[in-house]
Amino acid sequence: MTALDMLRTGTLNRSGLLRVVESPAPRGGGKDLGDAGPFAHTEACEEGLNVFETKKGDVIDVVMANSKALNGIEEQHSWHLHGHSFWIMKVGEAPFTEEALKHPAPHPPQKDTVSLLPGHFLWLRFRSDNKGVWPFHCHVLWHHVMGMEVLFVQK
């Protein structure tokens, strides 16, 4: 099953995250955005585990789609990544499609926190360049407590 199939069918893990990793040749010129390719290598973490291991220099693409919760309500989620900054490659109305990959933001802003609006998706990218265990979580406390968190572990 491809990454896009997973997004379309909702077979991602609890947090709605998937990981795309490749260690590309640098594009050059200062802060390198990297290129994870068109979802060249995709992993969704196991249900309930929410831990992704990375290697130094990996380019990590995270796609999140905000869909209705079990109670039928869509809420806004403020996502924060510790230990890294990410580029906001694309924001749009769900669903996330292959077309979105063709048109990333020409000058993506770099942040460590971003809001995911109801009925929308986010495509984020960061380079794994900081050794440690780094949480990526929703800043709404009770969402965090309910499991809206993953850990990126760079060895």
Least confident range of 15-19, 108-112, 123-127, 132-136: 15-19
Is residue 27 predicted with pLDDT exceeding 80? Answer: no
Six-digit token string for 61: 């693409």
Residue 109 is predicted with a pLDDT of 95
Q: What is the mean pLDDT of the chain?
A: 73
**Alpha-carbon distances, residue 42 vs 1, 22, 61, 74, 107 (angstroms):** 10, 9, 9, 26, 25
At 8, give phi and psi (nearest 5°): -65, -40
Greatest alpha-carbon span in the chain: 47
d(CA 33, CA 27): 8
Contact 113, 139 (CB under 8 A): yes
Provide the whole-model pTM.
Answer: 0.72
Q: What is the pLDDT of residues 38-48, one digit of tens each?
A: 333 344 444 55
Is residue 138 predicted with pLDDT exceeding 60? Answer: yes
Comparison of pLDDT for 141 and 81, the residue scoring more: 81
Contact 154, 117 (CB under 8 A): no
